[in-house]
Amino acid sequence: MLARCTGPTLDIGCGPGRLTSELTARGISSLGIDISGTAVRLTRLRGGAALKRDVFDRVPGEGRWAHALLADGNIGIGGDPVALLRRVRELIAPGGRVVIEVEPGHELRRRRVRVGGSSWFPWAWLGVGALAGIAQAASFHVAWTGVHGRRHFAELTARN
């Protein structure tokens, strides 16, 4: 997944920063964003740059990121993968790519969830079999898919 990131990369929903910090260690400019202050702090402790930010709010470098990462199921942010991908399209540069992790299976599921004692929020799970339709609805093309163990990955490019 990270080998596909060869230029400036935005790690959306960076969590504790393992991907952001690994990209930094590889010499790739990267920025993690997360709505959790704890996640941002942990990313910084690992040596990565991170900001407490919602992807749907203003993000530094909008329209200039070579790559955007949606790992660990973060295609589910907001409960609407099409809306999320449309937003990500605004964040990446022309010719930019989105690297995502998807679920096995063929369906899109949506639910309201909560973590610990948090408020309920919308989330989605996108099966690899539903990816092409979601990508097309967001004006992307599936350029690559791959499997590593039980994890499924894809790379999207913007359609003209």
What is the mean pLDDT for each group of 10 consecutive residues in the chain (160 residues)? 96 97 98 96 98 98 98 96 98 97 95 89 96 97 95 93
CATH 3.40.50.150 fits 2-158, yes or no: yes
E strand or H helix that includes residue 6 = none
- What three-state secondary structure class fits 86? helix
- Rounded Cα gap, residues 158 and 96, in angstroms: 7
Q: What pLDDT, on a 0 to 100 scale, did the predictor assign at position 116?
A: 81
Q: What is the pLDDT of residue 37?
A: 95
100: which 2 tokens? 């995502």
> In which residue are the tokens 């920025």 written?
31
Domain boundaries, the chain: 2-158
* pLDDT for 36: 94
pLDDT of residue 118: 84
As given in the structure block, the two tokens for residue 67 are: 């790559």
